[in-house]
Amino acid sequence: MPSSFPPTRDSIIAAAASDDVIVRERALEAIAAAYRRPVYKYLRLRWRMEREDAEDHTQDFFAQALERELFARFDPSLARFRTYLRTCVDSSAKNAAKAANRQKRGGGAMHLALDFSSAEGELRGVAIPDERDADDFFRREWLRSLFSLAVDDLRAHCAEHGKQTHFALFERYDLGAERETYAELGVAMGIAATQVTNYLAFARRQFRAMLLARLRSLCGSDAEFREEARELLGVEV
């Protein structure tokens, strides 16, 4: 029986240290895609930045990360990449607080296509994490981002392979707030309940593989990947 685990996706953390500037830029974009929401929320809550400041700082942080080759300096033997990145954000936020003049928005740097208003909406009702909870908060937001990216991957995969019904079931049952019975789902989607079982199983199988592939790409080392996978899904990989 073949494993559903996909071939190892190259680590974008490793690519962030590439000598090739294009590879480096692409890697940074991928890192930013996974981390910009957690970073923005973290700045808003942990550093109590105003909305506009947090937007600016998130933009600046990733732009400067490219210019200063910040991620190339990451040493996987010392910390997890997520911890390293959060430490960098903390350091950057401290410097920003000291700086009298804020960097102008955009200033020739890479512009991240982030819908900050939606990220802002997600902050409603979220408690401000104190120093002790900061890492947990950042990890939680990172997980949310990781799962969201995997859902996007699954949607694209299903669309590409003509499995829209599979994704629709997954979206309705696993992402929805209320869960209907398989029989009800079958009626709603025009398929048998047994098909609902099989379609959902397929979608979850693919989702799992995509989630682990995403996770792998965002880890700086195999050891980090194994630790994250163990914590995330309780699995040994």
Q: Does 212 contact another protein by CB under 8 A?
A: yes
Q: Does residue 219 touch another protein according to CB under 8 A?
A: no
Minimal distance in Å, beta carbon 40 to another protein? 13
Contact by Cβ (8 Å): 215, 146: yes
Name residue 32's amino acid. Answer: A
223 is a site residue for another protein (CB under 8 A): no
Q: How many CB atoms lie within 10 A of CB 81?
A: 23
Q: Which residue from 20, 50, 69, 174 is in contact with another protein, where contact means CB under 8 A? A: 174
Please tell me whether residue 184 binds another protein under the rule CB under 8 A: no
- Using an 8 Å Cβ cutoff, are 199 and 166 in contact? yes
For another protein, which stretch binds (CB under 8 A), given 40-48, 93-101, 102-110, 202-210?
A: 202-210
- Alpha carbon distance 170, 179 (integer Å): 11
C-alpha distances (whole Å) from 210 to each of 101, 126, 145, 206 are 42, 28, 13, 6
- Using rule CB under 8 A, residue 201 touches another protein: yes
Task: Using the minimum distance from each CB to another protein, give the nearer residue, 107 or 234.
Answer: 234
How many residues bind another protein (CB under 8 A)? The answer is: 37
Distance separating the N- and C-terminal Cα atoms of the chain: 17
21 interacts with another protein by CB under 8 A: no
> How far, CA to CA in Å, does 81 sit from each of 68, 97, 194, 216?
17, 24, 42, 11
Q: Does residue number 17 form part of the binding site for another protein (CB under 8 A)? A: no
Instruction: By CB under 8 A, tell whether 143 contacts another protein.
Output: yes
Binding mask 100-139 for another protein (x = CB under 8 A): ------------------x--xx-----------------
Q: Rule CB under 8 A: say whether 231 interacts with another protein.
A: no
Please tell me what DSSP assigns to residue 37. Answer: H
38 in Cβ contact with 57 (< 8 Å) = no
Tell whether residue 5 is a contact of another protein (CB under 8 A).
yes
> Given the structure tokens 């910390």, which residue do they identify?
79
16 binds another protein (CB under 8 A): no
Gap between the Cα atoms of 158 and 162, Å rounded: 6
Give the binding site for another protein (CB under 8 A): 1-5, 118, 121-122, 140, 143-144, 147-149, 151-152, 155, 174-175, 177, 197-198, 200-201, 204-205, 207-208, 211-212, 229, 232-237
